[in-house]
């Protein structure tokens, strides 16, 4: 029997057989409350949740936008508050499934939140992992709790995850007589940064870390997110492009770059090779109808958006937005106002001034970088301690990410290679980076983004097609993933899979070799 045979439990969503009396698992859960006596930990409740429950999340802040969560398997839900200092605390949940696979796992957070990742708790507990998830030290998605609260900021920068891991491991050992053997981390975006923070700062926390679309180079990411507003101006500006105009830009970028990888499929496999010439969209001087062309001010906007952000002295702060993300980015980055998380960060962290006006300049970028509170940058290039523990890290990034440019991940990979003086074949031993074409920010997109990092990208529990199971196989059987297979859904997760594609391990890139259709995964090759 392989360990993976437990996995279909998640799919079946097994419902506990109703019994009038409590069974041993239920009794253990209800008595667990009395057993926990850890410093700084206040247990709120330990409750048995039968599989098939649609959990109502009464305490979840409205801005977290999750008032319910489906739970597919029987589990013991433990909710607690953990003091991280005299003026800060995290809210932490530990979910202990009845069908336990002997593994501990921590989930991560997103954005500036502030939100317990219930969907991920349910996803990984559904696979049998003893799972923890925390609120990152504050409630809700706003950055306001950081204002004059350095301890809350510290939780956000690194302490929430680490605290959850320390407490979570103790509780797992208390709850299950057999304890646990291996520990894992699964997160994307801010969660990706938290995964990298663990690798860099707490190399013993995890045996396997899956870090997606990471918000690393964090201070510069905040500045990069800010710099689109001065480029586009407000919607009234002559430099501004409407969503329809960005769609025009996207189509032109595809026209120039889609077939570089050999396939006309509306997906750019490696945006590095895409250096679009935008003057092709200029309106001719006597054009009467300018619906399908751009003014020269607008063309300049597009060119600037697709250029890196440099500091006052010309040093590179953040690489360019990767071409291909235009339609998604238009909705959130090019809206004609400052990116809300960036506004919060400058107001409540960098300047401690809620009236800061949002007129971002590169001087503000310098201030944010110089501050780098609690090394939130998460850019350390020397992973020697993690490597020495035998840890493995699987890094992935969507190639049409509209919120965190995938070029930043490529930059970090180079930074690690150069710092450690290790070529890719040596990094491969413990650090593998996968570029996922057709994936927007942590999921969604128009390509084969279904890699199983969470329920919103789940298509299969096969290690070949599921990053979490791939990591388990790498850690426990020593077999690393060569590619990550993704599903292209007909219309979002849960709908039929239209085709599969194997995503390459950087620095390889995917090339369509034929014969046949781009939908045939075997017609592609990583070169």
Ligand X SMILES: *[C@@H]1O[C@H](CO)[C@@H](O)[C@H](O)[C@H]1NC(C)=O
Q: Interface residues for ligand X in 367-406 (CB under 6 A)?
A: 369
Kindly state whether residue 311 participates in binding ligand X, applying the rule CB under 6 A: yes
Q: Which residue number, 296 or 517, has a Cβ lying nearer to ligand X?
A: 517
How many Å apart are CA 173 and CA 170, to the nearest integer? 5
Burial class of 377 by CB neighbour count within 10 A (0 to 12, 13 to 18, 19+): buried
Query: Which of 204, 296, 371, 517: binder of ligand X (CB under 6 A)?
Result: 517
Closest separation in Å from C-beta 44 to ligand X: 7
Maximum Cα–Cα distance across the chain: 83
Cross-strand pairs, 398: 436
The CB density around residue 269, as the number of other CB atoms within 10 Å, is 29
Q: Which of 223, 240, 239, 217 is nearest to 312 (CA)?
A: 223
Cross-strand pairs, 183: 104
How many Å apart are CA 185 and CA 430, to the nearest integer? 15
Q: Which residue number, 21 or 236, has a Cβ lying nearer to ligand X?
A: 236
* Residue located via tokens 């049409």: 400
Judged by CB under 6 A, the stretch of 64-72, 162-170, 187-195, 411-419 that binds ligand X is 64-72
Query: Which of 14, 26, 89, 402: binder of ligand X (CB under 6 A)?
Result: 89
Closest separation in Å from C-beta 419 to ligand X: 16
Closest separation in Å from C-beta 498 to ligand X: 7
Strands 75-85 and 316-318: unpaired
Q: Which residues are catalytic?
A: 189, 401, 441
- Please count the residues of this chain forming the interface with ligand X, following the rule CB under 6 A: 34
Q: What would the x/- binding string for ligand X be over residues 94 to 133, using CB under 6 A? A: --------x-------------------------------
How many Å apart are CA 161 and CA 191, to the nearest integer? 9
Query: Which of 30, 83, 256, 372: binder of ligand X (CB under 6 A)?
Result: 83
Query: Which of 4, 6, 40, 283: binder of ligand X (CB under 6 A)?
Result: 40
Half-sphere exposure of 200 (CA within 13 A, CB side): 21
Closest separation in Å from C-beta 311 to ligand X: 4
Cβ-proximal residues to 501 (8 Å cutoff; 6+ apart), any chain: 437, 438, 447, 448, 485, 486, 488, 510, 521, 524
H helices present in 4-83, as ranges: 8-12, 24-35
How many Å apart are CA 364 and CA 47, to the nearest integer? 48
Q: Which residue number, 83 or 247, has a Cβ lying nearer to ligand X?
A: 83
Cross-strand pairs, 70: 54
Query: Which of 22, 27, 63, 181: binder of ligand X (CB under 6 A)?
Result: 181
Cross-strand pairs, 485: 502
Judged by CB under 6 A, the stretch of 7-15, 208-216, 289-297, 388-396 that binds ligand X is 289-297
Answer for the pair 195, 208: CB distance below 8 angstroms, yes or no: no
Kindly state whether residue 366 participates in binding ligand X, applying the rule CB under 6 A: yes
Q: Which residue number, 116 or 393, has a Cβ lying nearer to ligand X?
A: 116
Query: Which of 6, 33, 52, 70: binder of ligand X (CB under 6 A)?
Result: 70
Structure tokens at 389: 């523990």
Tell me which residue has its CB nearest to ligand X.
102
DSSP character for 321?
A: P
Structure tokens at 409: 């991940």
Q: Which residue number, 20 or 495, has a Cβ lying nearer to ligand X?
A: 495
Kindly state whether residue 359 participates in binding ligand X, applying the rule CB under 6 A: yes
Kindly state whether residue 291 participates in binding ligand X, applying the rule CB under 6 A: yes
Query: Which of 27, 68, 259, 414: binder of ligand X (CB under 6 A)?
Result: 68
Q: Which residues form the interface with ligand X (CB under 6 A)? A: 40-42, 54, 59, 67-68, 70, 81, 83, 86, 89, 91, 102, 138-139, 178-181, 289, 291-292, 311, 313, 315, 338, 357-359, 366, 369, 517, 519
């Amino acid at each position: 029997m392989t360990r993976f045979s437990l996995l279909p439990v998640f799919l079946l969503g097994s419902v506990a057989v109703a019994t009038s009396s409590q069974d041993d698992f239920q009794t253990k859960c209800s008595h667990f409350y009395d057993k926990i006596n850890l410093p700084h930990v206040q247990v709120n409740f330990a409750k048995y949740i039968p599989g098939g429950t649609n959990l109502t999340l009464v305490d979840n802040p409205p801005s977290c936008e999750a008032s319910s969560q489906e739970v597919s398997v029987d589990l013991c839900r433990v909710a607690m508050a953990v003091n991280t200092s005299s003026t800060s605390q995290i809210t932490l949940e530990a979910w202990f499934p009845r069908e336990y696979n002997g593994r501990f796992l921590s989930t991560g957070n997103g954005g500036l939140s502030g939100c317990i990742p219930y969907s991920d708790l349910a996803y990984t507990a559904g696979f049998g992992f003893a799972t923890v998830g925390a609120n990152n030290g504050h409630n809700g998605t706003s950055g306001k709790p950081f204002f004059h609260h350095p301890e809350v900021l510290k939780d956000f920068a690194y302490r929430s995850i680490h605290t959850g891991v320390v407490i979570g491991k103790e509780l797992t050992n208390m709850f299950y007589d057999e304890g646990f053997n291996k520990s894992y981390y699964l997160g994307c975006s801010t969660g990706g940064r938290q995964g990298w923070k663990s690798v860099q700062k707490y190399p013993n926390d995890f045996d396997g870390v899956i870090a997606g679309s990471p918000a690393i180079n964090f201070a510069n990411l905040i500045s990069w997110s800010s710099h689109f507003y001065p480029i586009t101006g407000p919607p009234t500006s002559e430099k501004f492009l409407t969503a329809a105009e960005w769609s025009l830009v996207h189509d032109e970028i595809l026209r120039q770059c889609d077939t570089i990888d050999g396939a006309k499929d509306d997906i750019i496999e490696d945006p590095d090779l895409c250096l679009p010439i935008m003057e092709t969209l200029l309106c001719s001087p006597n054009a009467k109808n300018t619906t399908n062309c751009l003014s020269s001010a607008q063309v300049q906007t597009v060119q600037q958006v697709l250029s890196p952000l440099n500091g006052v002295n010309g040093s590179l702060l953040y690489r360019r937005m990767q071409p291909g993300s235009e339609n998604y980015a238009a909705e959130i980055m090019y809206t004609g106002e400052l990116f809300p998380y960036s506004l919060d960060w400058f107001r409540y962290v960098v300047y401690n001034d809620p009236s800061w006006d949002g007129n971002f300049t590169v001087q503000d970028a310098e201030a944010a970088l110089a501050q780098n509170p609690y090394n939130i940058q998460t850019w350390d290039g020397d992973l020697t301690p993690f490597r020495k523990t035998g840890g493995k890290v699987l890094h992935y990034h969507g190639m049409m990410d509209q919120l965190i440019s995938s070029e930043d991940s490529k930059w970090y990979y180079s930074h690690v290679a150069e710092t450690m003086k290790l070529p890719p074949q040596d990094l491969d031993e413990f650090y593998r980076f996968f570029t996922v074409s057709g994936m927007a920010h942590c999921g969604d997109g128009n390509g084969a983004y279904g890699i199983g990092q969470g329920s919103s990208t789940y298509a299969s529990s096969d290690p070949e097609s599921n990053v979490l199971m791939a990591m388990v196989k790498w850690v426990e059987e020593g077999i690393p993933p060569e590619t990550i297979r993704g599903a292209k859904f007909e219309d979002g997760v849960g709908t039929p899979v239209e085709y599969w594609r194997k995503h390459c391990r950087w620095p390889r890139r995917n090339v369509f070799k034929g014969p046949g259709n781009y939908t045939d995964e075997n017609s592609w090759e990583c070169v």
